[in-house]
Amino acid sequence: MKILLTGAGGDVGRRLRPMLRQAYGEIRVSDRDPLPDLHPGESFVAAELSDPVAVARAVEGIDGIVHLGGFSVEGPWPVLLKSNIEGCYNLFEAARAAGVKRVVFASSNHAVGFYPREQTIGPAVPVRPDSRYGVTKAFGEALGALYADKFGLRVTCLRIGNVGDAPIDRRRLAIWLHPADLMQLVRIGLEHPDIRYEVLYGASDNARGWWDNQRARDLGYRPQARSEDFAAAVLARVEAPDAVGDRYQGGAFCSQEFGAGPSGD
């Protein structure tokens, strides 16, 4: 398969690139600005996601896309609109026009961040975004469903928790995703014959997790990393309390600008 990775200059993109090269040989990488660390086996195409012509050039001749590109935190609506709404539409539309077969879309746990931590949720729950950023990820999931059902793209949306070498706080004990486990999920999205449209959770084997990821397991996902291996060290750290964020799965994204009153629901 000829693979395009958008957002290749970001932290998650840099972690995925060597694994994608190993799995698929030469890959195409894209970001808004040139990459200072381009490796053998990578070809680069600059593309601002809000520029449909540049995005069309990036996806030309590609079989599968791993779409990490966009604005990755909460921010002003005009910025999110340009990168995560217009840019996401441009990506899916260019993929359709170019005959791309599969898209793996990096959604986020923040699309469902206002579920309480004591509730276990699966992929079929209604979205409850915790931020404007979360709204853009919910939009991307909906857009992926449209392009799967109407145009035949095979789309996998990964509600990613937090990607890193280890969980660094209590919340991340529930949502941590090791890069190698993320690569497993990416390969399922790019290769599994039964994929049409799926929403899966991006989490490792986390005993304290809040998400029912049985569908990912049905598709062959076998996470190897365990957040509990780091629990003693994480729980020994002192964390500042957050009266709102500590209640909800989205954490601090929920407490930002929070004005719902004492009940919160």
| Interval 206-215: pLDDT, tens | 999 999 999 9
Task: Please identify which of the residues 24, 89, 133, 147 carries the catalytic annotation.
Answer: 133
Query: Strands, DSSP E only, in the chain?
Result: 3-6, 27-31, 42-46, 64-67, 102-108, 154-160, 162-163, 176-177, 197-202
The answer as to whether 254 is a domain residue is no
Residue 133 annotated to the active site: yes
265 pLDDT above the threshold of 60 = no
| Interval 148-195: pLDDT, tens | 999 999 999 999 999 999 999 999 999 999 999 999 999 999 999 999
Instruction: State the CATH number of the domain containing residue 42.
Output: 3.40.50.720
Half-sphere exposure of residue 109: CA atoms within 13 angstroms, side-chain side: 31
pLDDT at 260: 84
- Rounded average pLDDT over 11-25: 98
Instruction: Please tell me the total count of domains within the chain.
Output: 1
The answer as to whether 251 is a domain residue is no
The answer as to whether 257 is a domain residue is no
100 pLDDT above the threshold of 80 = yes
Q: In the predicted model, what is the mean pLDDT of the chain? A: 97
pLDDT at 261: 66
The answer as to whether 105 is a domain residue is yes
Start-to-end CA span in the chain (Å): 46
d(CA 27, CA 18): 10
Query: Which phi and psi (to 5°) does residue 45 adopt?
Result: -130, 120
The answer as to whether 250 is a domain residue is no
pLDDT at 262: 54
| Contact by Cβ (8 Å): 176, 161 | yes
d(CA 8, CA 34): 10
The answer as to whether 148 is a domain residue is yes
The answer as to whether 166 is a domain residue is yes
